[in-house]
Chains A and B, each alone.
Chain A
Amino acid sequence: EPEVTQTPSHQVTQMGQEVILRCVPISNHLYFYWYRQILGQKVEFLVSFYNNEISEKSEIFDDQFSVERPDGSNFTLKIRSTKLEDSAMYFCASKTSWTPTNEQFFGPGTRLTVL
């Protein structure tokens, strides 16, 4: 069964460094998402992406964040200058098309640790 994959599974970085988190959505999916979960808190929506542009973003998704679909298979989240509070689990999700249930398929997550 096709799955969303994410790499790396764990990323450790120094504060102020740039990180790129990678996701490979399910191949025929058209809508892509990033969510994050700070330890002990709820999973929060960051951004949705469709047709090569951002559809919606949360207030968390400030100028330090960007997303890209560089090659038709990968979907990346870049944090330009990481802060301690960016430490979290980052989940990528995708879905095939607009459906009434809006079922999104999630990847295993990347744990980002900012030191």
Chain B
Amino acid sequence: AQSVSQHNHHVILSEAASLELGCNYSYGGTVNLFWYVQYPGQHLQLLLKYFSGDPLVKGIKGFEAEFIKSKFSFNLRKPSVQWSDTAEYFCAVNLPNRDDKIIFGKGTRLHILP
């Protein structure tokens, strides 16, 4: 079965540190890839998405992610985090030629120290 793995369950960083959250998926065919963020008490928001083209994708709030097909990875990065980035981050995949559902990873809880 298709799955999404997020390597870190809980990450603690200081402000201005660089961030990289790992994500791997298990499916060899065409995929759409997403990173969602959930700020405390709020709904899931789309940070960025990849479905074709440039494998380096830029999203909102200074986030970017790189799709590396050979590694089945879609890691999220931000060069300098802020306290307001404290949230839970979900990597997700959709198989557009198969079905409509989005398959999520378990999430990474990011805590930024002021």
Contacts and interface: CB of A to CB of B under 8 A. Distances in A.
Contacts of A100: 32, 51-52, 96
Interface residues of A, number: 26
Interface residues of B, number: 26
Contacts of A106: 36, 43-45
A56 B99 contact: yes
A104 B106 CA distance: 18
Contacts of A107: 43
Contacts of B17: none
Nearest to B94: A102
Given A43-B90, A44-B104, A45-B102, A102 B96 contact: yes
B106 A41 contact: yes
Contacts of A102: 32, 51, 94, 96, 100, 102
A7 to B, nearest CB: 13
A41 to B, nearest CB: 7
A3 B46 CA distance: 12
Contacts of B100: 31, 33, 48, 55-56, 102
Nearest to A33: B101
Contacts of A105: 46
Contacts of A25: none
Interface in A41-56: 41-45, 48, 55-56
A31 B100 CA distance: 10
Interface string A52-63: 000110100000
B46 A42 contact: no
